[in-house]
Amino acid sequence: MPQGDTNVNPVHLDRVREMLFASAAEGLVLVDRSGAIRMNNPRLLELFGYAEGELLGRSIELLLPESFRHAHASQREGYNARPAKRHMGRGRELNGLRKDGTIFPVEVGLNHFTVDDELYVMALVTDITERKSAEEALKRNTAELEKRVEERTAELAKGAHAVEIAYEREKELHALKSRFVSMASHEFRTPLSTIMGSADLIARYTEGPGNEKVHKHVQRIRTKVRDLTAILNDFLSFERIGQGDISTEPEEIDIIHLCIGLIEELRGMAKAGQALKYEHTSDTRTVVLDRNMLVNTITNLVTNAIKYSPEGSPVTLRTAMDDGCLRIVVIDKGIGIPVTDQPQLFDPFFRAQNVLTIQGTGLGLHLVKRYLDLMGGEINYTSTPGQGSTFNVRIPGKHYRT
Amino acid sequence: MALLLDNHQMAGTIETLEELVRVLDVESRPAGYMDALLRLSITPEMLAPFCQWNTRHYTRQCIHRTREHELILICYEEGQRTSIHDYDSQMAWIKPLMGTVQEERFKIATGGSLKRHGQRVLETGRLAYMATKSCIHRHSNAGPGRAVTLNLYARPIRSWRVYDERTGLASLLGTTEAGGE
């Protein structure tokens, strides 16, 4: 490794040292063992507001606030005994005292050296007023933020409590409503069943000519009782599904007998000249599904087909087992579903524009969809206003046999 | 075609539905079906476990089914009846096991109206035969008290059509036909 050029003019080096000392951005002050200032740079004078030469020979404590001077003198003695390169006042806030009496925050680094057995301590003084201001601002902002967080937390806690109370009240009301709907449905259904039975018997006992007016009124009673029963059943089902108070209980079902039974039950709803036709179109006829859900699904679809078809308009129900799935098709030639209403067709309580004058709850298709969801089934339909609708249902059967 | 057959004494009376099912599975000819049903004599006590009752409508219980035939137990509360209907099975035998049942026959007249053209009463123990293809009919509990019939269909029913009785008219898939309830 080549040696550097050491032949530099000592006078030139002194000037370089002076320049370094004079141009430093921090205040530099050199004190002797007694604490007397022996040297300082212009920046130190600028920081503390003194003129050139004004500090030389004066005690370093001059640059400290009055309250720190006594302690500083003894600390300085301690430092002289065990001098070391370190930051001054670690963990404490240091302040400087200007000539005009104002105090400002400083950071001080200490170093020492010995010349001809004489100890000198050099302090590097940095004005940290701006940093302190920034820190104070940050503290204030943090405090403000914490205060806001506390306030919002308190508000949220208060809100949460209110929500909890409202939720409990809502639960109580919901339970009350459920009990009422359940009780009302059961309590209404029993007398309705009796009324229907009696109406059937009146019709039976007054058969023959001359009783047309009786039959007309009996039929009116039957129709209204069925409507009311259907409404009660819809509400009860909607309530049960909404509460999750429903479970699937699969059982083996002969789909043909199930559908014939349903058609026989629903025939009383049919309008004048309205024929109901049922066909099963596959060899397999047994499926394992929840009977109640299946009955509700088919009943709702056929009931809608009857309800929204005019007199003399046929309704067809078809079933088939296909690739492990039960397929159900319900076809009517009724009023159809307006195109604009079709997207909401399965929404609860939704009723299409063209059926508002026909009695209904708007729950039927919603319940069908919910039952099919529970059975893992799906539904789609095609409908042309004025020409009729076809609903297609597909439900996977767990297993089936011929 | 409708026949009403007298119950007659013959060896080997069938006294349970289980025994009837075993016989029907062996004998799959119409004559065999008829013979088995004629031999059937079942007490109300033996029948009771198979019956289901509903105050709203009559009930249908499938007792047994094969590809060739199916055996259905139909229970009527007082005053209950079937719809006016037809189905696609070719032959049917109806045997009242309890009570009395009235059978009404209908036909489609000119102009599409539905006209009743016959009726008969089926007493307990009697056996009625019906060639059911396109035979529009209705069964009703004719007596006081409950009624139960055992219906044997060959082959099993796959389609069922209900007619409207109030107007006597029914439109089926665009074709005007006569009808009832």
Segments making up each domain of chain A, as ranges = 10-127, 249-396
Partners of A254 in the β-ladder? A286
For the range B3-11, what are the long-range contacts, defined as Cβ-Cβ under 8 Å and sequence gap of 24 or more? B3/B128, B3/B129, B4/B120, B4/B122, B4/B126, B4/B127, B4/B128, B4/B129, B5/B34, B5/B38, B5/B126, B5/B127, B5/B128, B5/B129, B6/B126, B7/B38, B7/B41, B7/B125, B7/B126, B7/B127, B8/B38, B10/B35, B10/B38, B10/B39
Q: Looking at the partner chain, which of B55, B83, B167 has a beta carbon nearest the beta carbon of A267?
A: B83
Nearest CA in chain A to B162: A276
Q: What does the pLDDT read at residue B179?
A: 27
What is the C-alpha to C-alpha distance for residues A312 and A374, in angstroms, rounded to an integer? 35
Cβ contact (<8 Å) for B160 and A263? yes
Chain A neighbors of B56, CB-CB under 8 A = 193, 196-197, 265
What confidence tier does B176 reach under pLDDT thresholds 50, 70, 90? very low
Q: Quick one: which of A373, A244, A347, A367 has its CA closest to A300? A: A367
Chain A neighbors of B74, CB-CB under 8 A = none
Percent of chain B with pLDDT over 70: 82
Judged by a CB distance cut-off of 8 A, whether residue B63 touches chain A is no
Q: Looking at the partner chain, which of B160, B163, B166 has a beta carbon nearest the beta carbon of A260?
A: B160
Q: What does the pLDDT read at residue A130?
A: 92
Using the predicted structure, report yes or no on whether residue B172 has a pLDDT greater than 60: no
Using the predicted structure, report yes or no on whether residue B10 has a pLDDT greater than 70: no
Q: What does the pLDDT read at residue B168?
A: 52
Q: What does the pLDDT read at residue B171?
A: 36
Concatenated DSSP letters of A83-148? ---EESSTTS-EEEE-TTS-EEEEEEEEEEEEETTEEEEEEEEEE-HHHHHHHHHHHHHHHHHHHH
Q: What does the pLDDT read at residue B166?
A: 61
* Look-up of token digits 């059978």: B103
Which CATH number describes the domain made up of A249-396? 3.30.565.10
**Residue A331 exposure: Cα atoms within 13 Å on the Cβ side:** 13
ipTM associated with this complex = 0.71
What is the C-alpha to C-alpha distance for residues A388 and A58, in angstroms, rounded to an integer? 110
Cβ contact (<8 Å) for B181 and A312? no
Q: What SS3 state is found at A60?
A: helix
Contact A391, A316 (CB under 8 A): no
Alpha helices by DSSP H, listed for B3-136, are 17-26, 30-39, 44-47
Q: Give how far B10 is from chain A: nearest CA, Å.
A: 33
Using the predicted structure, report yes or no on whether residue B11 has a pLDDT greater than 70: no
What is the C-alpha to C-alpha distance for residues B106 and B101, in angstroms, rounded to an integer? 16
Q: Quick one: which of A116, A108, A100, A42 has its CA closest to A72? A: A108
Cβ contact (<8 Å) for B171 and A270? no
Alpha helices by DSSP H, listed for chain B, are 17-26, 30-39, 44-47
Q: What does the pLDDT read at residue B175?
A: 29
What is the C-alpha to C-alpha distance for residues A327 and A301, in angstroms, rounded to an integer? 13
Q: What SS3 state is found at B141?
A: strand
Residue type, A365: L
Residue type, A175: A
What is the C-alpha to C-alpha distance for residues A146 and B13, in angstroms, rounded to an integer? 96
Q: Specify whether the backbone of B17 is left (phi greater than 0), alpha (psi in -120 to 50) or beta.
A: alpha
Concatenated DSSP letters of A32-52? ETT-BEEEE-HHHHHHHT--T
For B102, the enclosing helix (H) or strand (E) is strand B101-108
What is the side-by-side order of every strand in the sheet holding B127-131?
B2-5, B127-131, B91-98, B147-154, B70-76, B59-65
Dihedral pair phi/psi, residue A128, rounded to 5°: -110, 30
Q: What SS3 state is found at A82?
A: coil
Q: Give how far A161 is from chain B: nearest CA, Å.
A: 51
Cβ contact (<8 Å) for A277 and B162? yes
Q: For residue A258, what are the contacts with CB-CB under 8 A and spacing of at least 6? A: A291, A294, A295, A298
Cβ contact (<8 Å) for B181 and A201? no
Q: What does the pLDDT read at residue B134?
A: 64
Q: Give how far A194 is from chain B: nearest CA, Å.
A: 9
What is the C-alpha to C-alpha distance for residues B56 and B81, in angstroms, rounded to an integer? 11
Q: What does the pLDDT read at residue B170?
A: 45
Q: Give how far A214 is from chain B: nearest CA, Å.
A: 13
What confidence tier does B100 reach under pLDDT thresholds 50, 70, 90? very high
Q: List average pLDDT for each run of 10 residues in chain A, which is 402 residues long.
A: 61 79 88 93 94 93 91 87 78 88 92 89 92 92 94 93 91 80 77 86 81 85 83 80 78 90 86 86 88 92 93 91 92 94 90 83 90 92 95 80 38
For an interface test with B, which of A202, A215, A218, A257 has the most B Cβ atoms less than 10 Å from its Cβ?
A257
Distances (CA, A) of A136 to A92, A133, A140, A143, A203: 16, 5, 6, 10, 95
Q: Looking at the partner chain, which of B56, B162, B167 has a beta carbon nearest the beta carbon of A263?
A: B162
Q: What SS3 state is found at B69?
A: coil
Nearest CA in chain B to A207: B79
Using the predicted structure, report yes or no on whether residue B178 has a pLDDT greater than 80: no
Residues of A with CB under 8 A from a CB of B: 193, 196-197, 200-201, 204-205, 219, 254, 256-257, 259-261, 263-265, 267-268, 270-281, 311-314, 316, 333, 402
Where are the strands (E) in A128-226, listed by range? Answer: none
* Look-up of token digits 């004559």: B31
Q: Looking at the partner chain, which of A193, A264, A316 has a beta carbon nearest the beta carbon of B173?
A: A316
Nearest CA in chain B to A316: B173
Which CATH number describes the domain made up of A10-127? 3.30.450.20
Q: Quick one: which of A317, A330, A319 has its CA closest to A389? A: A330
The radius of gyration computed from the CA coordinates of chain B, to the nearest angstrom, equals 16
* Look-up of token digits 């056929």: A302
Contact B81, B140 (CB under 8 A): yes
pLDDT tens digits, residue range B121-155?
999 999 998 876 668 899 999 988 999 999 999 88
Q: What does the pLDDT read at residue A58?
A: 95
Nearest CA in chain A to B74: A261
Number of domains in chain B: 1
Tokens in use for B150? Answer: 């055992």
Q: Looking at the partner chain, which of A264, A275, A281 has a beta carbon nearest the beta carbon of B82?
A: A264
Range of the domain at B148: 2-178
